[in-house]
Amino acid sequence: MSGIPENRIFSLDAVRLSVDAAVHPWAAAEASAIEAHWAREQVERPWLYNGTVLLHRGLQLDRGTISGISHRTPFAALLHWIKCQPGADVWHLFGSAVILSSDGAMLLIRMAAKTANAGKVYAPSGSLDDSDIRDGCVDVDGSMMRETREETGLELSVAGAEDRLLCWRSGGRVAIFRRFRIDEPATLLVERMRAHIETDPEQEIDDVVIARAPRDAGPTVPPHMQAMLDFHFAAPDFNTGWQAAGNR
């Protein structure tokens, strides 16, 4: 048992993932099925890129820290995992940067048509990959900052970051959040974000969505993000009751 609660937001002190150079046992066992699934995806969505991402095993929650082992896998393995949702020891853990403006808005992004998550609305995030590895361990906070920089042009290293992490899990999918407050109103931040999106050669982001209430993200928001919206707008202040009282 992992000890990681399901389908609710709770707080964390840290995530510690060590990288194993070996092939993930599940990916090795499923190699033929992964290849066949990718061949079908190439017909239906030929723009997808089969880069390297990290899948995990052995995730455990102990005294406020999630720990586990990470393996480099092709993106095709992640897509196959999403499709079949195996009961094996396979986890997709990723970081999400929750951007908050000085006037109380949460700024989300809507994914462009030619992406794996076309039309979905959520906080800047992405699968962990090689660029997030530091000295044999995975830097989840670094991934949040990198994804935000790439997708929105915003630099979170100068933002106000909440002390603790937040987490949501469903099955083997684990979303790690940190809330960042930028001392600018939503209108100015959105203007900067849209200017970046227009000139971004990757063209992965379609637009910015301003949320001032849980319903504002719209119908394409995935479950992990809806849970974060509900949680945040019920307790929007940093470093307050939910932290003093422990996990919620």
Q: What is the pLDDT of residue 212?
A: 97
What is the spatial distance between Cα 109 and Cα 92, in angstroms, rounded to a whole number? Answer: 21
* CB count in 10 Å sphere of residue 206: 17
Q: What is the pLDDT of residue 2?
A: 84
Q: What is the pLDDT of residue 1?
A: 60
Measured between its terminal Cα atoms, the distance across the chain in Å is 20
Q: What is the pLDDT of residue 55?
A: 98
Query: For the whole prediction, is pTM greater than 0.85?
Result: yes
Provide the residue-wise pLDDT of the chain in tens; the chain has 248 residues: 689 999 999 999 999 999 999 999 999 999 999 999 999 999 999 999 999 999 999 999 999 999 999 999 999 999 999 999 888 999 999 999 999 999 999 999 999 999 999 999 999 999 999 999 999 999 999 999 999 999 999 999 999 999 999 999 999 999 999 999 999 999 999 999 999 999 999 889 999 999 999 999 999 999 999 999 999 999 777 664 333 333 33
What is the spatial distance between Cα 226 and Cα 224, in angstroms, rounded to a whole number? Answer: 6
The two tokens of residue 187 are 């209108």
Q: What is the pLDDT of residue 238?
A: 64
Q: What is the pLDDT of residue 45?
A: 94
Report residue 178: phi and psi, to 5°. Answer: -135, 135
